[in-house]
Structure formats: structure tokens, C-alpha cells
Amino acid sequence: MLPQTTREAARRFGDATAYVTEQSRPISFTDLDRDSDEIAAGLAQRGVRVGDVVALILPPGPEYLLAYLGAAKVGAITTGINDRLSAREQAGVLERAAPRLVIAGTSVVAPDHPGAEVVVVDTTGADPDAPALASLRGRGEPPALADDPDRPVAIIFTSGTTGAPKGALYTNRQLAFITRTDVGETWGGGSRSFTGTSFAHLGFMTKLAGNLQRGGTSFIMSRWRADDALRLVERERMTTVAGVPTQLALMLARPDFDAFDLESVRYLVVGGGPVTPGLADEARARFGAALATRYSCTEAGIGLGTAFDAADEDAIVSVGRPHDAVDLAVLDESDDAVRPGEVGRVCLRSPAVMSGYWRDPEATAAAFTADGFVRTGDLGWVDDQGRLRLVGRSKEMYVRGGYNVYPVEVEAVLSAHPGVSAVAVVPRADGVMGELGVAAVVPRDPAAPPTLDELRAFAREKLATYKLPEALTIVDALPLTPMEKIDRTALTRSLDDQERPS
């Protein structure tokens, strides 16, 4: 469905600007269709056929965008590999993906992958007259494709930073459903926005068709930085700011935040993780905008959300309610539904859910319940208003003295402390209690950070004593994954290194 949407967007919107590169070069809807046709022709001439995998190790940019559209036009399957992953992590993804062709940018070490042709392309944009992916372009019309709802289009890999990478497979059918859910049958109405996350992420790979259908303009950021994002919002008078919670927090933490003219911003859209109450309140107040959350996972495609016109509390305490045609279940370890209000494993079912993990039948079987719900890996509970409240990842939960502690629940309370700019809670082994909570805090005022006693006293009215942190470390910043999420593994490792005798 990507080829058809690209062509229809070109017909409807023509020379209107679809994307703007970091070098300020506009790319029109007509350009997207024509250029991706040339790349499709070039891929076909290289022997890329329906069902072949094309791996992209590229930063966000016109090269990734056009390669994805060109591959879709020949019926190939695109998998994106975050260019910020290490060479070892990239190699793990490539081994699972088994691509026919690898397109790598100049910013990465080109892999030597057996059985695949590797093409290195310039991603610097140093020559403004050079067309993107010039070496991959061909002549003539791309081969005609039969209309096949079940043809695979994209493999979206989960983070390769821990464990074996797994690639969620999406077909035309799922992408069409996600697009209908997001924009319906409407064409146009898009706004000006920036791209804030890796193009290898679920958001770009599954929502590109919907973004083209809206007809808006996206400003590409190959590397997201808070000051650059704020300058773009100010200069382009953007009405919507979207990103993961960490990005919102980093913008608000800028010492010069209040110097930016952000009067145009009306909406904040946050996904990729729960928003702490402290962050939600501060963002609403300082941006002067309504806030909505979005919740899903790589395997589910779409999930839940809150509305801009809903009660402010919705986006503070929850990730909202299921979208239309999405079923939510909270299950125990036997896949039975938990009692109302109890914490369990969050599972989702809809026509958007992945077909399975690419070349991994065992992991696919483990990902689904018998009745078709996909396991998100998150823990949560549903309140009496039907809202899902997350308490953390199942692997993040720790046990203190026989009691389960969910870090996200503790962080939600601590984030509201006036001296806390950002916080993450991780466990530390203890010979008596099993595990204890350590709070890593980025202070709002580095010269006067909160003490452990102050944080415990602040949280005591809202949390049971066993949930309170029992150690505190003050940090300049929380470590982030390539997807701009808190890297709890790296944080735990750094705390362990601090405690290890030298």
C-alpha cells in the first residue's frame, strides 16, 4: 500500500513540500514518487525481487526515506537498523534479517555480511546538487506489483542492546489498518513537524503512509538535539511537538527554554513510554499546550492513548484507553485474566499486530497467547475508568523482602518532587532483603540536590515503605538507548562499577 499512497499523494499534493532535509533542501511529494521510482528500477536491475530483504543502516534522512519507498515498489521487505547501534549489535540484526542487499551510510562501518551485496552511500548532504542514492538509481518504470494484502513490507527490530534481536514482521494488511486508524479516508490536513526518532523505529516504518496521506511537512533531524528541536519549533511555528518522554524532559531542562518563542505550540504528543506526573505537569505549564499520550510496542503496531480534550489526569496517571478495534487484556502468568485493579501482564490484540518474528518461530510462539493477544512485556492494571496504568517492564520489577516493587510506580511519585528534574529507579542486590531500590536523580538545581531523606519523606504518603528508595545517587544525566529511552542496563552497570572496590 506504500506505492499506491506515494503515487496518490504526489497526484494530490504535487510540488508541496513533504520533507525538508537538514541542509534545508525541500523534497516535494512529486519528488518522492519520481525518485523512489528510479530507486525501485535500480533495485530491480540489481536483482532485488519480491520477498528479498533490504537492510538500511542509515541515519534519518532522504536516503532512508527513498530506499524504503523504492524497496516497497519492487515488493522487497525493508528492515531498518539503527545506525547508532554498535557494530556487534548491527551484526546480530543482520544475521537474523538475512538481507539480499545492505545499504549503509558513510557514518557507519560498512558491514561485511555473507550473502548480501553491501552498498555504501553518502549521507552527509555535502553536495546539494547530488541526488540521494545516486548509485542506486535506474531507468525505466519499476516492475508492476500485484495487489497483495499479505505481502511483507517491513521488519522492525526490537532493541539490539540486550539479548537476541527479534524482528516484527508487518505486511500491507497491517500497515493499511494502522493508516485507517490514524487518518481514516481523509487526505490533507497535515501540519509542520520534525522527525525526532530513528527511522528504523515502529513509528516511522508503520506510519509513513499515514503521514503522506496527511500532506504535511516534516523537518528531518538526523540526530535529535533539544536545542535544535526548540529552534525548529520556533522558526517554523509548529503547532505540535511529538517525541518520547526523555526528549520532552531534555527540552524542558534547557536553561534557555523560556527564551524560545513557543506560542504556536498547541499540542504535545508523547509515546514510547509512560509520562511521569512531574513531567506532564511541567510540560503542560511551560509549553502552554494540551498533552496526549500514545502507548504501543514494536509487536502490537497500535494500542492505547489519551485524548487532548480529556481530563488532565488521564495523561498523568495512565496511558489511556484502547483505540477502536484494539482489545486489551491484563493476564497472570497462566494467561488468565487478573481481577479488576490487580497488576498483570499487558497484552494487546488487533488487526495491527505483527505477523510474527522474522525467521524465529520459537520466539513468535512465545509472543502470543492462545487466543491471539501479543505480550507487550509491560506490567500494568486497569482502573475503574477503563484506563491502563503501567507499572513497568516485567524484567524491571524487583523483589524486596518478598514484595514486588515496580520502578515506574516509584518514579512517578519521585518525579513530582520540586528538586527532581529526572529520575530512574533500579535494584541493587542485598544479602538480607534480596533487592533494594536505588534512585538515580538528575537534580533541578545541581548546587542543591535533594537528599535521600527528603525524597523518602516526600514519597511516604503515596508509597508503601517497602517501595521507597534506600539509596540515592546524583547524576548529571540518565543514560539513554539509541531510541532515546532510559538505558536501565547501563545505569545499573554504572552503579555497580561505583560500588566495586578499585
Q: Which residues pair with 7 in a beta bridge?
A: none
CA–CA distance, 278 with 276 (Å, rounded to integer): 5
Q: Tell me the mean pLDDT in the region 38-44.
A: 97
What backbone torsions phi and psi does residue 312 show, to the nearest 5 degrees? Answer: -55, -30
Q: Which domains does the chain have, with CATH numbers?
A: 2-222 (3.40.50.12780), 252-351+359-393 (3.40.50.12780), 398-499 (3.30.300.30)
The confidence score (pLDDT) of residue 159 equals 60
Q: Tell me the mean pLDDT in the region 230-246.
A: 94
The confidence score (pLDDT) of residue 84 equals 84
The confidence score (pLDDT) of residue 500 equals 53
Contact present, 268 and 291 (Cβ < 8 Å): yes
Beta-strand relationship, 420-430 and 434-443: antiparallel
Percentage of the chain exceeding pLDDT 90: 77
Contact present, 397 and 405 (Cβ < 8 Å): yes
What backbone torsions phi and psi does residue 20 show, to the nearest 5 degrees? Answer: -125, 125
The confidence score (pLDDT) of residue 430 equals 85
Q: Which residue is associated with the grid cell 492513548?
A: 305
As to burial, measured by CB atoms within 10 angstroms (0-12 exposed, 13-18 middle, 19+ buried), residue 336 is exposed
Q: Which residues pair with 368 in a beta bridge?
A: 374
Q: Is the pLDDT of residue 323 over 90?
A: yes
Q: Tell me the mean pLDDT in the region 50-58.
A: 97
Closest residue by Cα to residue 479 from 467, 465, 489, 464: 489
Q: Is the dihedral of CA 179, 72, 485, 252 positive or negative?
A: negative
Distance of alpha carbon 19 from the chain centroid: 20
Q: Tell me the mean pLDDT in the region 95-105.
A: 96
SS3 content of the chain, % helix, strand, coil (to 5): 30, 25, 45
Q: Is the pLDDT of residue 497 over 80?
A: no
Average pLDDT, the chain: 93
This prediction has a pTM of 0.87
Return the SS3 of 480.
Answer: strand
Q: Is the pLDDT of residue 192 over 60?
A: yes
Q: Amino acid identity, residue 270?
A: V
Q: Tell me the mean pLDDT in the region 314-319.
A: 92
Q: What pLDDT band is residue 70 in, cutting at 50, 70 and 90? A: very high
pLDDT tens readout for residues 398-431: 889 888 888 988 999 999 999 999 999 999 988 8
Q: Is the pLDDT of residue 160 over 70?
A: no
DSSP code, position 233: H
Cell of 92: 546480530
pLDDT tens readout for residues 425-445: 999 988 888 899 999 999 999
Concatenate the DSSP letters of all residues of 235-293 into one string.
HHT-SEEEE-HHHHHHHHT-TTGGGS--TT--EEEE-SSPPPHHHHHHHHHHHT-EEEE
First-to-last C-alpha distance (Å) of the chain: 58
Q: What pLDDT band is residue 161 in, cutting at 50, 70 and 90? A: very low
CA–CA distance, 154 with 200 (Å, rounded to integer): 10
Helices 202-214, 172-183: inter-axial angle, 10-degree rounding: 60
| Size of the chain, expressed as the number of residues it contains | 502
The confidence score (pLDDT) of residue 128 equals 79
DSSP code, position 386: S
The helix (run of H) or strand (run of E) holding residue 221 is none
pLDDT tens readout for residues 246-305: 899 889 989 999 999 999 999 999 998 778 888 899 999 999 999 999 999 999 999 999
Distances from the Cα of 261 to the Cα of 216, 327, 369, 409, angstroms: 22, 41, 49, 34
Q: Which residue is associated with the grid cell 481530563?
A: 311
pLDDT tens readout for residues 348-368: 999 999 999 999 999 999 999
